[in-house]
Amino acid sequence: KQEVTQIPAALSVPEGENLVLNCSFTDSAIYNLQWFRQDPGKGLTSLLLIQSSQREQTSGRLNASLDKSSGRSTLYIAASQPGDSATYLCAVSGGGSSNTGKLIFGQGTTLQVKP
Amino acid sequence: ETGVTQTPRHLVMGMTNKKSLKCEQHLGHNAMYWYKQSAKKPLELMFVYNFKEQTENNSVPSRFSPECPNSSHLFLHLHTLQPEDSALYLCASSLRGDGSYEQYFGPGTRLTVT
């Protein structure tokens, strides 16, 4: 059974700092990994999708890496801003026996960027 | 805006009521999903529809009944719910439901069962 873990659960940093969020998964037979952002009480915004054959994806100040063999992904946020404050969720597709598109989510990392 | 809309955004219902949640996607996708987000728990898949056919039911109680009349619309019919069913219900869509494609989420329906 696929399980996804995110560390740390919460993070508070001063504005301008570079930071790394971690995600690990137990079954390396994934199709892809997605990073999402969720603002309080809102839906999810997709940030980056990494296919299982890829090592990293970049979008603006965000860079996500994937090491499938070790079951790990990191989300790097450069020059953090107060507007980056949100909960960041990691989710994997596949692994175990499912290929229906089912996403397995981690608990999330709640980020606070202080001005 | 992600191209996925959900109505209503907030719903309060008693345990004996019957209500329905609606999701609509304007992205030309063929797969749609219902997820449940409870406090203190990870987001959890409920149902998957691919080309209008249900391909996954994640052991969801029968008081939740999904309906997918076409690839653009997805409903979740609710009846005799319990207070522990109070949660944020999120709909998502993707081009196909085979695990290869990015999923786009709606804003969610905040459900409170009294």
* Each residue's pLDDT expressed in tens, for chain A with a length of 115 residues: 889 999 999 999 999 999 999 999 999 989 899 999 999 888 999 999 999 999 999 999 999 999 999 999 999 999 999 999 999 999 999 765 556 778 999 999 999 999 9
Is the per-residue pLDDT at B38 higher than 60? yes
Which residue in chain A is spatially nearest to B42 when comparing CA positions?
A: A107
Closest CA to B30 of B50, B54, B55: B50
Q: What is the mean pLDDT of chain B?
A: 94
Which residue in chain B is spatially nearest to A42 when comparing CA positions?
A: B107
Whole-number pLDDT of residue A100: 72
Peptide bond into B8 cis (omega under 30): yes
Which residue in chain B is spatially nearest to A101 when comparing CA positions?
A: B99
Chain B residues with beta carbon closer than 8 angstroms to that of A98: 56, 99
Chain B: give the shortest CA distance to residue A94, in Å.
6
The span from the CA of A93 to the CA of A73, in Å, is 13
Is the per-residue pLDDT at B45 higher than 70? yes
Which of B30, B40, B43, B50 to probe by mutation at the A interface, max A CB count within 10 Å? Answer: B43
Whole-number pLDDT of residue A102: 87
Q: Which two tokens stand for residue B110?
A: 């905040």
* Interchain CB contact of B43 with A (< 8 Å): yes
User: Tokens 């987001």 sit at which residue?
Assistant: B43
Q: Which two tokens stand for residue A34?
A: 């997605």
Compare CB distances from A93 to B50, B99, B107 and report the shortest one's residue.
B99
Chain A residues with beta carbon closer than 8 angstroms to that of B31: 101
